Structure 1
Amino acid sequence: MKVKIKSFMTIATWHWITKDDYCGICRMAFESSCPECSLPGDDCPLVWGVCSHCFHMHCIVTWLNLQPLSQQCPMCRQSWKFNIQ
């Protein structure tokens, strides 16, 4: 007896590994996208600061552009520096 597969459907899930569940700026879940993006993922990555706080990339860039003189983390008010590993 042979079995022929006519169609095959898969389902996958993903999630960011962070200690918080929500962006501290837009208050949207990290599994969703920021208000600027229509879909989560590569176009809306998460970025971490040296202070260990995490935000949507678009949210923190907008936040920093609104305060050009004192670029601080919106959560702890430390000077914002991107954590590049």
Structure 2
Amino acid sequence: MKIKVKSWKAVAGWRWNVPDDDVCGICRAPFDACCPSCKIPGDDCPLIWGQCTHVFHMHCLLKWLGTESSQQQCPMDRRPWVTAS
């Protein structure tokens, strides 16, 4: 028996592979903990939001923005970094 395919349609789907929304996108440490630069969790390690809605430990973001390769862009989506007000 021979079968001839007359037509076919491709179907695909996608989703973001986000392991956990409660971690810093730079250091991957939980937000309820402190960043690698800090010793004690709490107010010494505040979170900072961008207009792009990404969130990071403030120290992680400042260190990132201080590098030449950052080009003052969000490390997640590479849009120009603008702190949310």
Report the CA distance between 1:67 and its aligned residue: 2.6
- Using structure 1 for the length normalisation, give the TM-score: 0.72
Whole-Å separation in 1 of the counterparts to 2:54 and 2:63:
16
- Percent identity between the two aligned chains: 55
* Counterpart code for 2:80: S
Larger radius of gyration: 2
Report the CA distance between 1:68 and its aligned residue: 7.2
The gaps in structure 1 that reach 5 residues or longer are 1-18
| Structure 1 segments (4+ residues) deviating >2 Å | none
Residue range with higher mean Cα deviation, 25-34 or 67-76: 67-76
Residue range with higher mean Cα deviation, 65-74 or 46-55: 65-74
* Counterpart code for 2:34: S
Q: What SS does the corresponding residue of 2:48 show, helix, strand or coil?
A: strand
Residue 48 in structure 1 maps to residue 43 in structure 2: no
Whole-Å separation in 2 of the counterparts to 1:54 and 1:31:
13
- Using structure 2 for the length normalisation, give the TM-score: 0.72
Partner of residue 78, structure 2: 77
Whole-Å separation in 2 of the counterparts to 1:41 and 1:69:
27
Report the CA distance between 1:69 and its aligned residue: 7.3
The gaps in structure 2 that reach 5 residues or longer are 1-19
> How many residue pairs end up in the alignment?
66
Report the CA distance between 1:47 and its aligned residue: 0.2
Whole-Å separation in 2 of the counterparts to 1:55 and 1:31:
12
